[in-house]
Structures are given as structure tokens and as C-alpha cells.
Amino acid sequence: MSKILWSSTLVPSADVTAKPYTSEYYGESLRIPMTKSLALEESKAPLPDRKVYRSMSRAGVLLSVVCLHGQQVMQPFLDKSPFCVGIYAALENGPVDLKSTREMIDVVRDDFAELYKKHRNPKMFLMQLPNLAAAQMGIFLGILGPLNVYNSSSYGSIHALEQAEMDLHESRVDAALVCSAFSFENPLILERIRRQTLQDRILCEGAAALVLTADGKHSDWKDFDYNTTESYYGISHQIITQIQKKGE
Amino acid sequence: MLSEKELFDKIEEAIRVVLNAPEGEIKKESMFKADLDAESIDFLDISYEIEQRTGVALDFNEALHYITEKKGADITDISVGDVFDYIIKVLQQKKENK
């Protein structure tokens, strides 16, 4: 039903050495032996709004960066109508503000409100909203079509691909921007990945975007063994793996 | 007790971090909206960062009240220097109340 018109990935390069990961807040109780992160500082990310990084999770920043690479490909569709491109993003909830949480642990009830006001960054909660990150990316690109965000840690990428496929088939959109980003922001998600999914693979940060258009052929995104890869990219795994597979 | 220069440096740093401005861009005469492209939610963020660095809880409503008393109620923008002056005033009041 669809063909990949354009794709891009943002993954650690092959020469990056895998390192163990431990959480600043959970210490050795959360340890992942092999991880690779992207060498990208949020405040220096090439985004159209320099201050937006204050209200976007790292994954949100990565999402915008990778999608902006496809601006020229999407522009002819957007020139026709900004409503004819849909966004299908797989992105987990952003980080909990563990720094301020640590400051507020064990305080007496009467002091809590004062400490909350003092320590909780007012923009922090914006980072937790995956919809906001995807919407912000859509604003950067001028996309006004349907916005779909999936935060299922294991299947978000598959959900995004399948919904895009369906909307293209039904002619609800002319082009589908399927995208995802994963970073090491939420220790609890990392722990779940370590226990259930990772096996001996390297856990990598990553982001990917592809533009799909209808072409009458059916793509079965599930018809692939995603478990035998060398690296694992969290919620972005299936999209990144599909793009890497096509590039082989 | 911070000197005025040290205090300004901390305020400048807080604003610079929030607005992701390059060093040297933020001056006392810089206007938040016109020069620095700040939005309403940035004021909350800036007040948080200033409090983290100086210990002064900056209430922008009170600050705005103080500034409009000085400059007139029809102002549509405030400068970094206005915020700096307000924080100086808050610190002086704190000192007097001790």
C-alpha cells in the first residue's frame, strides 16, 4: 500500500564505543552493560527556535532534528495542502524531573508546596508530553494534517507504521511522515527494556523518519525478525531497523 | 552578599540559559519581547532559574507592578535592567526587614 519516498536515521556511528549505563538516581540497581548515545547536545540542536529545548524532552529534540532533514521532500505536498500530510510518531512520555523529586523526598506535608514551587521547573512537565514534541515538530515543518502519537514502549513504531499505511490506503492523507525517537531519559523504561527485551544487544539512542506515499503495494511491517539485530533502539527500533534494512 | 555585578551576572546567566542566547547578547537594556523573543511561559522559567541561582523568589506579577509604577501602565515590554532593579529592591527590603 505504500512506498518509502524518503528516509533518514540518526543513530550512533559504528565507531562509537559501547559503554555501560548507570542511572544517576538509581545507581547500580539499574545497569545496562552496553549502550551508545548520540553526540548531540539539546541546546545546540539545529532547530528553528533556539529556546524550544527547554520544553522538549531529548527524544523530542531528536525527533524534530531527524524530521527536519525531510523538509524538502515534504514541501511539494505541503504546498498543495498543509492538511494532506499526516504525522505518525512513536515517542515515549518524557522524563520525570528526578532532580526535583529527590529534593522533595521525605519532606513534611506542610513544606511540600513550598519546595515544589522552589524546585520544580515550570517547563519540566511540558517535556513529559509526547504529543507536544510531535506537535512542535509539525509546527516546525508546517504540517497541519492528522497528528498520531503512539507511546507504547514495545510496539509504538509498528502502530505508527500500520496507521500510516491504513490512512494512505483510505486516501486520508497524501503523504505520511512516520517518525520516532528514543533516548535514555526514563530509568524505569530502561529497566523494563533491560529485563524484557534487550538480551545481549547494544541499547542505542536513535531517531528516524520516513515519508510514505501510497503505491498500491502492501507492506507488512511485522514480517521481519526485529529480535536478531545487533542494536536495540527502544520505541524507535522497528522504524530504524526497517530503514536500515532498506538501505542494505 | 552578592555585589551588583555578581547579581547581574547570575540574572544574565539565568535568562541566557532559558532563552538559549549566546554570551554577550543579554544586556541591561535588552527588552524581553522585542530583543530576546521571550514569551509568557519563558518568564516563569526565568523566575525559576533566577531563584535557583540567587535565592530570590521572583514573582513576575509583583515585578510588573513595580515596573509599571516606575515607567507607566502602558508599557508593553520590560528590560533585563527592569528585572534587575526589582530584584535589588527585593533584596533591600529583605535586608531592612531583618
Q: Do A101 and A13 share a structural domain?
A: no
Higher per-residue confidence, A79 vs A215: A79
Q: Do A180 and A67 share a structural domain?
A: yes
Please judge whether A123 and B57 are an interchain contact, meaning their C-beta atoms are less than 8 angstroms apart. no
A179: CB partners within 8 A, 6+ apart:
A63, A66, A67, A87, A88, A89, A90, A134, A137, A160, A207, A208, A209, A210, A239
Residue at a domain's end among A109, A126, A143: A126
- For residue A112, give its domain range: 96-126
Q: Is the pLDDT of residue A208 over 70?
A: yes
Q: Is the pLDDT of residue A95 over 80?
A: yes
pLDDT band of residue A128 (cuts 50, 70, 90) is very high
Q: Is the pLDDT of residue A107 over 80?
A: yes
Q: Is the pLDDT of residue A227 over 90?
A: no
- For residue B20, give its domain range: 4-97
How far apart are the C-alpha atoms of B90 and A181, rounded to whole Å? 44
Q: Is the pLDDT of residue A248 over 70?
A: no
Q: Do A163 and A219 share a structural domain?
A: yes
The domain tally of chain B equals 1
The 10s digit of each residue's pLDDT in A59-88 is 999 999 999 999 999 999 999 999 999 999
Q: Decide: helix, strand or coil at residue A57.
A: coil
CB A8 within 8 A of CB A208: yes
The 10s digit of each residue's pLDDT in A145-195 is 999 999 999 999 999 999 999 999 999 999 999 999 999 999 989 999 999
Which among B20, B44, B48 is the nearest to A43, CB-wise?
B20
Q: Which of B45, B49, B52, B54 should be substituted to probe chain A, the one whose Cβ sees the most A Cβ atoms within 10 Å?
A: B45
The 10s digit of each residue's pLDDT in B28-49 is 999 999 999 998 889 989 999 9
Q: Do A159 and A72 share a structural domain?
A: yes
At A89, which CATH number?
3.40.47.10
Q: Look over chain B and give the mean of its residue pLDDT values, rounded to a whole number.
A: 90
Match 545496562 to its residue by C-alpha cell.
Answer: A32
Lookup: cell for A57: 524532552
At B78, which CATH number?
1.10.1200.10
pLDDT band of residue B18 (cuts 50, 70, 90) is very high
* CA-based nearest distance B44→chain A, Å: 6
Q: What is the mean pLDDT of residues B16-26?
A: 94
Residue at a domain's end among A110, A126, A142: A126
Q: Do A140 and A66 share a structural domain?
A: yes
Q: Do A216 and A168 share a structural domain?
A: yes
State residue B64's pLDDT score: 86
State residue A68's pLDDT score: 98
